[in-house]
C-alpha cells in the first residue's frame, strides 16, 4: 500500500483550483458580466452602440450650466461651471474655460501642443478660482498640478 501525503498548501491549492474552475465554468454558462453596462453604453440588437444622451444641466441666472462632470459623455457635454471640492472639504465650481486653459484643453494643433507642453514642464501648480453657483462670487482656489 502506497501512502501519499499532501501538504496543507497543496490541498488549499487544489480546492482553490477546483472552486475557481467551477466558478469560471458557471461564468461561461451564465455570462461573465453580472453588472449591467453603464448608462448609454448598451448595444442595440444589431450590435451598434446605443445613442448617448447629453446631460441636462441646470442653469444659473447668468445662463451658465453647472454640475458634476460625472454624467458628461465627452468634454463637449461638460457644464460651464464644474463641481469641485476644495482642500478644506467645501464645494464650489470652477469655470470650464479656465480649466481648459490650464490643462491644455484649448490646444488645437501640434505647434500649440508643443508650446503648451514646454510651458507645463517648467511650471508650478496652477490655481484657478472656485466660484459659487452664480459663477461670480469667488469662494476659494483650486490647485491643478502640472502633468508630466
User: pLDDT tens digits, residue range 19-75?
Assistant: 444 444 444 434 344 445 555 555 667 777 777 788 899 999 999 999 999 988 888
Q: What is the pLDDT of residues 68-97, one digit of tens each?
A: 999 888 888 999 999 999 989 999 999 999
Question: d(Cα 97, Cα 78) in Å, to the nearest integer?
Answer: 11
> Please, are residues 111 and 94 in contact by the beta-carbon 8 Å criterion?
no
Residue 59 lies inside a defined structural domain of this protein = no
Residue 75 lies inside a defined structural domain of this protein = yes
Whether 125 shows a pLDDT value over 70: the answer reads yes
Whether 138 shows a pLDDT value over 90: the answer reads yes
Q: How far apart are the first and last CA of the chain?
A: 67
Residue 34 lies inside a defined structural domain of this protein = no
Question: d(Cα 18, Cα 22) in Å, to the nearest integer?
Answer: 6
Residue 109 lies inside a defined structural domain of this protein = yes
Q: Whose CA is closest to 98, among 60, 139, 143?
A: 143
User: What is the residue whose three cell numbers read 466660484?
Assistant: 131
Residue 55 lies inside a defined structural domain of this protein = no
Residue 35 lies inside a defined structural domain of this protein = no
Q: What is the reported pLDDT for 52?
A: 76
CA–CA–CA angle 141, 144, 148 (5° rounding): 165
Q: What is the DSSP letter of 30?
A: H
> Please, are residues 140 and 122 in contact by the beta-carbon 8 Å criterion?
no
Q: Which domain holds residue 86?
A: 66-144
Q: What is the pTM of this model?
A: 0.61
Q: Which three cell numbers stand for residue 11?
A: 490541498
Q: What is the reported pLDDT for 121?
A: 79
Whether 137 shows a pLDDT value over 80: the answer reads yes
Q: Over the Cα atoms of the chain, what is R_g?
A: 26
What's the total number of domains in the chain? 1
Amino acid at each position: 500500500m502506497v501512502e501519499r501525503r499532501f501538504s496543507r498548501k497543496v490541498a488549499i491549492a487544489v480546492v482553490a483550483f477546483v472552486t475557481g474552475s467551477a466558478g469560471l465554468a458557471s461564468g461561461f454558462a451564465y455570462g461573465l458580466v453580472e453588472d449591467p453596462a453603464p448608462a448609454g453604453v448598451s448595444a442595440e440588437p444589431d450590435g451598434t452602440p446605443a445613442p448617448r444622451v447629453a446631460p441636462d444641466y441646470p442653469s444659473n441666472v447668468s445662463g451658465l450650466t453647472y454640475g458634476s462632470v460625472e454624467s458628461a459623455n465627452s468634454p463637449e457635454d461638460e457644464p460651464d461651471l464644474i463641481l469641485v471640492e476644495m482642500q478644506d472639504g467645501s464645494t464650489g465650481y470652477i469655470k470650464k474655460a479656465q480649466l481648459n486653459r490650464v490643462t491644455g484643453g484649448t490646444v488645437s494643433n501640434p505647434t500649440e501642443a508643443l508650446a503648451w507642453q514646454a510651458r507645463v514642464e517648467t511650471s508650478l501648480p496652477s490655481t484657478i478660482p472656485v466660484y459659487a453657483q452664480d459663477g461670480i462670487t469667488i469662494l476659494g482656489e483650486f490647485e491643478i498640478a502640472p502633468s508630466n
